[in-house]
């Protein structure tokens, strides 16, 4: 289920959007602490943000700038500022789309679907976490200017760790990821590959590591 964060101070409109999107099987979160929008968005790590411009504290363009500086989360601006210059400003600052108020919910839904389709397709090719980029086509990990070649199993494990950054992944889940119909994968195989990955991350002194959580699994943090 895709997660959508709404940063909007119009309570009536916000409630309407939440109800509508939930009807289309989106998981919707309202961010109404306008003093800490950046922190709450990055902690939530949604698949998409709907961002108003006229907010009580900083305006939406400020939050657009600071969020895009730290994250690739797609952002759709939803604003009463309909002037062409404002729309151009939003797109040039990194917004993925711009919807002017008033709008139909059908149009908003179509734009959300289109942006998620584009960004999901893009994320299949490269997955980014911290200073790391997993290049899926070449099964390589790029860290700043260094390219690290990964084995097939190391790539599969790194992909699931990066897609679950800061979340514990169980050994059973990792074994399922390595399993192939014609290849038997045992617990020792998993341990060997995890050990190799840990060493590769340690060797590049990234400050990001795979940590063993005894009885639970592993976490990339």
Residues 6+ apart with CB under 8 A from 88: none
| Residue 44 and residue 79 share a domain | yes
- The tally of domains found in the chain comes to 2
Spatial separation of the C-alpha atoms in residues 104 and 186, rounded to whole Å: 53
pLDDT at 95 over 80: yes
Spatial separation of the C-alpha atoms in residues 74 and 111, rounded to whole Å: 12
Cis check for the bond before 137: say yes or no (omega within 30 of 0).
no
Task: Give the start-end residues of each E strand in the chain.
Answer: 3-7, 27-30, 48-51, 75-79, 97-100, 126-129, 132-135, 140-143, 146-149, 210-213, 217-220
Listed residues 106, 123, 140: the one ending a domain:
123
| Residue 185 and residue 142 share a domain | yes
Q: How far is CA 51 from the centre of its chain?
A: 16
pLDDT of residue 133: 86
CATH code of residue 163: 1.10.10.10
User: pLDDT tens digits, residue range 29-62?
Assistant: 999 999 999 999 988 889 999 999 999 888 899 9
Spatial separation of the C-alpha atoms in residues 92 and 157, rounded to whole Å: 36
3-state secondary structure at position 219: strand
| Residue 168 and residue 91 share a domain | no
Long-range contacts at 208-214 (CB < 8 A, ≥ 24 apart): 208/129, 208/130, 208/131, 208/132, 210/161, 213/168
User: pLDDT tens digits, residue range 105-137?
Assistant: 999 999 999 999 887 655 557 788 877 888 887
CATH code of residue 72: 3.40.50.2300
pLDDT of residue 181: 44
3-state secondary structure at position 173: helix
Name the residue range of residue 115's domain: 3-123
pLDDT of residue 183: 55
| Residue 140 and residue 108 share a domain | no
| Residue 139 and residue 85 share a domain | no
| Residue 142 and residue 113 share a domain | no
Listed residues 123, 147, 179: the one ending a domain:
123
Least confident of 73-82, 98-107, 145-154: 145-154
Q: How far is CA 209 from the centre of its chain?
A: 19
Backbone angles phi, psi at 89, to 5 degrees: -60, -45
């Amino acid at each position: 289920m895709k997660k959508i964060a709404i940063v909007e101070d119009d309570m009536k409109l916000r409630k309407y959007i939440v109800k509508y999107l939930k009807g289309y099987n989106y998981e919707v979160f309202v961010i109404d602490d306008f003093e800490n929008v950046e922190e709450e968005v990055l902690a939530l790590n949604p698949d998409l943000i709907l961002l108003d411009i006229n907010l009580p504290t900083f305006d939406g363009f400020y939050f657009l700038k600071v969020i895009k500086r730290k994250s690739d989360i797609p952002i759709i601006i939803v604003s009463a500022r309909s002037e062409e210059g404002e729309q151009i400003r939003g797109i040039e600052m990194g917004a993925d789309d711009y919807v002017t108020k008033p709008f139909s919910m059908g149009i908003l839904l179509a734009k959300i679907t289109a942006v998620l389709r584009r960004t999901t397709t893009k994320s299949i090719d490269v997955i980014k976490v911290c200073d790391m980029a997993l290049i899926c086509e070449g099964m390589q990990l790029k860290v700043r200017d260094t390219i690290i070649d990964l084995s097939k199993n190391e790539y599969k494990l790194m992909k699931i760790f990066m897609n679950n950054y800061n979340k514990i992944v169980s050994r059973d889940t990792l074994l399922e990821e390595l399993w192939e119909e014609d290849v038997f994968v045992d617990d020792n195989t998993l341990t060997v590959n995890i050990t190799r990955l840990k060493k590769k991350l340690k060797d590049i002194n990234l400050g990001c590591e795979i940590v063993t959580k005894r009885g639970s699994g592993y976490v990339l943090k």
